[in-house]
A and B are shown apart, each in its own frame.
Chain A
């Protein structure tokens, strides 16, 4: 079975632009979470979606938004990009919303803002 897939792999954007990152969960998984990993730091939680509803939100500005589609794939959108948004964005999927389920992480999308 395919693991969690993310696209694109790498992305370069300019300050002020908008970006959309995509995630396809493992087949059968209904929960998707997004994390931001700045170079040299641990991942920080951005959002969790389960059955197309937002179940959790981290301490990120409203420029960050996400949604989950009926096929359980997800998009993370970031508006008005700042230099500080440069990071590896990780998507994780799991069968349910509780962390009693193992989270499976994708390889990430490397975003560079110039």
Chain B
């Protein structure tokens, strides 16, 4: 079945550092790909998405490109802030009613 694998956390960076969180997926067809963020005590929020190969999703300085050839959707940000500290989830959907999530990556940014 479909699955998503994220780099294991936790990840700790200093403010203004470059961020990469790796995500690879397994799917039988051509899924849509998502990044969600979960701040402490809150629900999941959609950060960005891409629906077809070579699409780039972007929001709040975060970017991810749908790479079909490597089945990847890595999340990047050029300069992280303390406020970016959260848990990040990569997810996919193949047009069905459900999202399939990775296990999450906890990110901590130190000032």
Contacts and interface: CB of A to CB of B under 8 A. Distances in A.
Contacts of B95: 98-99
B46 interface: yes
Interface string A44-55: 110010000001
Interface residues of B, number: 23
Given A4-B43, A90-B44, A43 B101 contact: yes
A70 interface: no
Secondary structure dominating the interface of A: loop
A34 B67 CA distance: 29
Contacts of B41: 107
Interface in B29-45: 32, 36, 41-45
A44 B98 CA distance: 9
A42 B101 contact: yes
A45 B98 contact: yes
Nearest to B44: A105
A56 interface: yes
Contact of B100 (A45, A98, A100, A107): A45
What interface size band does chain A fall in?
20 to 34
A48 B95 CA distance: 13
Contacts of B98: 33, 45, 48, 56, 58, 99
B102 interface: yes
22 contacts: A33-B97, A33-B98, A40-B103, A42-B102, A42-B104, A43-B44, A45-B97, A45-B99, A48-B97, A55-B97, A56-B96, A56-B97, A56-B98, A99-B95, A102-B46, A104-B43, A105-B36, A105-B43, A105-B44, A105-B45, A106-B43, A107-B43
Interface of B: 4, 32, 36, 41-46, 51, 89, 91, 93, 95-104
